[in-house]
A and B are shown apart, each in its own frame.
Chain A
Amino acid sequence: MNPINDLIKQLTEQHGRKRESLLPILQGVIEQEKYLSEYAMIEIARAMDLPTAEVYGTATFYSFMEHRKAGTYIIRVCKTITCSMKGKNQILQTIEDMLKISLGETTPDGRFSLLQTNCLGWCHKAPAMLINDEVFTDLTPEKVREILKTFLQTTQN
Chain B
Amino acid sequence: MAFDTYLLKRADFIFKDEEDWKNILTRTLKLPPNAIINELMSSELKGRGGAGFPTGLKWKLTAEAPGNEKYIICNADEGEPGTFKDREILTLVPHKVLTAMAVCAHVIGAQQGYIYLRGEYKYLVEQLNQAIDEFHTICQSLGCQFTIRIFLGSGAYICGEETALFESMEGKRGEPRNKPPYPTQVGYKNCPTVINNVETLAHAFTIFKYGAKKFYDLGVQYSRGSKLFSVSGDTPKPGIYELELGMSLEDFVNEFGDGDTKAVQVGGASGFLVPRKKFKATAIGYKGKLSGISLPTGGSMMLFNSSRSMYNVLDNYLEFFREESCGQCTPCRVGCQQLYQGIKAVKRGEKPAGYLDKLLKLTETMKLTAKCGLGQSVANSFSSIVENFREEMIY
Contacts and interface: CB of A to CB of B under 8 A. Distances in A.
Note whether A and B form a binding pair: yes
Interface of A: 18-24, 26-27, 57-58, 61-65, 79-82, 84-85, 117-126, 130, 133-135
Interface in B291-326: 302, 304, 308, 312-313, 316-317, 319-320, 323-324, 326
Nearest to A24: B152
B94 interface: no
B109 interface: no
B87 A81 contact: no
Interface stretch (B114-122, B138-146, B176-184, B341-349): B114-122
Contacts of B324: 118
Interface residues of B, number: 51
22 contacts: A19-B170, A19-B171, A19-B172, A20-B169, A20-B170, A21-B171, A23-B169, A23-B171, A27-B154, A57-B173, A58-B171, A61-B174, A63-B154, A63-B323, A82-B82, A85-B233, A118-B81, A118-B320, A119-B82, A121-B79, A124-B232, A133-B122
Contacts of A22: 171-172
Given A80-B81, A133-B123, A124 B230 contact: yes
Interface in B104-153: 118-123, 151-153
A135 B124 CA distance: 11
Contacts of B313: 81
A120 B157 CA distance: 11
B83 interface: yes
Contact of A118 (B122, B230, B234, B323): B323
Interface of B is mostly: mixed
A56 to B, nearest CB: 11
Interface of B: 78-84, 87, 118-123, 151-157, 168-174, 189, 230-234, 238-240, 265, 269, 302, 304, 308, 312-313, 316-317, 319-320, 323-324, 326
Contacts of B154: 23, 26-27, 62-65
A124 B78 contact: no
Contacts of B323: 63, 118
Contacts of A80: 81, 269, 316, 320
Contacts of A23: 151-152, 154, 168-169, 171
B268 to A, nearest CB: 8
Nearest to A31: B122
Nearest to B309: A85
Contacts of A21: 171
A121 B156 contact: no
Given A27-B152, A80-B316, A84-B316, A120 B120 contact: yes
Contact of A117 (B155, B232, B326): B155
Contact of A121 (B121, B174, B231, B320): B121
A134 B125 CA distance: 12
A20 B172 CA distance: 8
Given A57-B173, A80-B316, A81-B316, A121 B157 contact: no
B87 A121 contact: yes
Contact of B173 (A19, A58, A63, A121): A58
A155 to B, nearest CB: 20
Given A19-B170, A130-B120, A135-B123, A85 B308 contact: yes
